[in-house]
Amino acid sequence: MPRSFDMATEYEGTSAQVYAAFREKQYWLARLAASGADDATLEAFRVGDDGGVDVVTTQVLRATRLPGIVHQFHHGDLEIRRAETWSGLADGGSAASIAGSIVRAPVVLDGSALLSPLDERAVLTFQATVEVRIPLVGGKMEKFIGTQLVNLLTSERQFTTQWIAENL
């Protein structure tokens, strides 16, 4: 049965600054390079006429780095595909739909995010549903992925804050 996760994080920069970073291809390339993945590719990047941003990334983690729980359901390297579609900035905020999957594994993530102004900062709220369609271990894996999502949100906030300070 799918599990839902709700989380939030605050950025040091304003929502306009965070969104400006999201609109820069160099930001995504640098974020992927700093992700810790063994291989990371920016598959697609498009800024629309409405100001929205579409991003698709693939990150590969080598099998030798994966925790034992992952080996219970997946053999070999882990290829994680993520697609984000951000609306144009309006009233200081932007909404996104986020889809993730593990290639050649019965794992999917569907989520939504909202970037909003909060005084002179930005807050990102994220809701995700994770489903691992494997009998017996699926629930355990969903919980594990949820924990990893919290860690990912924190590391991406830290990276973005630093990137804004150095580039905007």
DSSP structural state of residue 153: H
What pLDDT does residue 154 have?
A: 94
Are residues 93 and 115 in contact, defined by beta-carbon separation less than 8 angstroms?
yes
Please state, as a whole number, how many other Cβ atoms lie within 10 Å of the Cβ of residue 77: 16
17-26, 61-70, 83-92: segment of lowest average pLDDT:
61-70
Per the structure, the complete domain to which residue 139 belongs is given by 3-167
Statement: residue 71 has pLDDT above 80: no
CA dihedral for 166, 52, 109, 103, sign (positive or negative): negative
Q: Write the CB contacts of 71 (distance below 8 Å, at least 6 apart in sequence).
A: 63
What pLDDT does residue 53 have?
A: 98
Return the closest-CA partner of residue 157 out of 47, 40, 15, 37: 15
Distance CA 101, CA 43 (A): 14
Say how many CA atoms lie within 13 Å of 52 toward its Cβ: 10
In the chain, the percentage of residues whose pLDDT exceeds 70 is: 99
Residue 129 C-alpha from the chain's centroid? 13
What pLDDT does residue 102 have?
A: 92
Work out how many domains the chain is built from and give that number.
1
Statement: residue 63 has pLDDT above 90: no
Distance CA 20, CA 38 (A): 27
Distance CA 84, CA 28 (A): 12
42-46, 72-76, 137-141: segment of lowest average pLDDT:
72-76
Band (pLDDT 50/70/90 cuts) for residue 141 is confident
Mean pLDDT of the chain: 93
Relative orientation angle of helices 15-22 and 138-167, to the nearest 10 degrees: 100
Return the closest-CA partner of residue 4 out of 102, 139, 153: 139
What pLDDT does residue 144 have?
A: 87
Q: What CATH number is given to the structural domain containing 48?
A: 3.30.530.20
